[in-house]
Amino acid sequence: MARQLRAEQTRATIITAAADLFDRHGYERTSLSDIVEHARVTKGALYFHFAAKEDLAQAILALQSQASRRVASEVDGRGCSSLEALIRVTFALTRLAVEGPITRAGLRLALGGVQVQPPLRHPFTEWLEIATRGLLGAVKESDIHPDTDVHAAAHSLVCFFVGTRIAGRPLEPVARLPRRTAEMWHILIRGLVPVHRRPPYLALTTQLEREIGGV
């Protein structure tokens, strides 16, 4: 049992180290030797868990997918409105990106030439489904304008959400992400939500940004 626990801890250490390097330098510019050094493990330990760099990339993509689905499930269980749930999901994903490299690296890998292998799905596709479901629910609940093109709005939301990460990576610290997510929602709320329904959602974005500790 102790040996199994050590093996699991070593695997997690390797994945975290690889995610950090993939996020900072990209997949192609990171070697297995770099990962071994960064993780402070032996090459034998790395090859025990992963036969190739591609296997590490797929493990990171799988963890990101699991995290996205877990976040969506946890928020759905709160019983809040569809729009509040969608806002909370985006801030929860932002928190994951701030607190560790897995989510950041997963997105960079998916957008940087690493083929997402079935049964995994591309994070953009997963997030697009979450956004579409949330906005469809918000229309039914009269929280967004009834004539909204939901599919176009969902696509724009995900592009906005992903774009802040891509554009901001070389320019801003990761701690800036909560502010960018809040800015995104302030723009979207003013564009999609009827005036009389805006105040609680605008207040929610401010609250969630503060909870993550955005600067």
Average pLDDT of the residues in 192-207: 97
Average pLDDT of the residues in 94-123: 88
* Confidence (pLDDT) at 2: 67
| Residue 6 lies inside a defined structural domain of this protein | no
| Residue 12 lies inside a defined structural domain of this protein | no
Q: How far apart are CA 206 and CA 176, in angstroms?
A: 14
Instruction: Please say if the pLDDT value at position 5 is more than 80.
Output: no
The count of domains in the chain is: 1
| Residue 143 lies inside a defined structural domain of this protein | yes
Average pLDDT of the residues in 164-189: 90
How is residue 112 annotated by DSSP?
Answer: T
Amino acid at 212: I
- pLDDT, tens digit, for every residue of 55-83? 999 999 999 999 989 999 999 888 899 99
Half-sphere exposure of 81 (CA within 13 A, CB side): 15
Name the pTM for this structure: 0.90
The answer to whether 160 and 184 are in contact (CB under 8 A) is yes
Query: Residue 107 sits in which domain range?
Result: 60-212
| Residue 162 lies inside a defined structural domain of this protein | yes
| Residue 49 lies inside a defined structural domain of this protein | no
| Residue 117 lies inside a defined structural domain of this protein | yes
The answer to whether 96 and 23 are in contact (CB under 8 A) is no
Classify 79 as helix, strand or coil.
Answer: coil
- pLDDT, tens digit, for every residue of 23-32? 999 999 999 9
| Residue 140 lies inside a defined structural domain of this protein | yes
Query: For the domain that residue 173 is a member of, what is the CATH number?
Result: 1.10.357.10
| Residue 142 lies inside a defined structural domain of this protein | yes
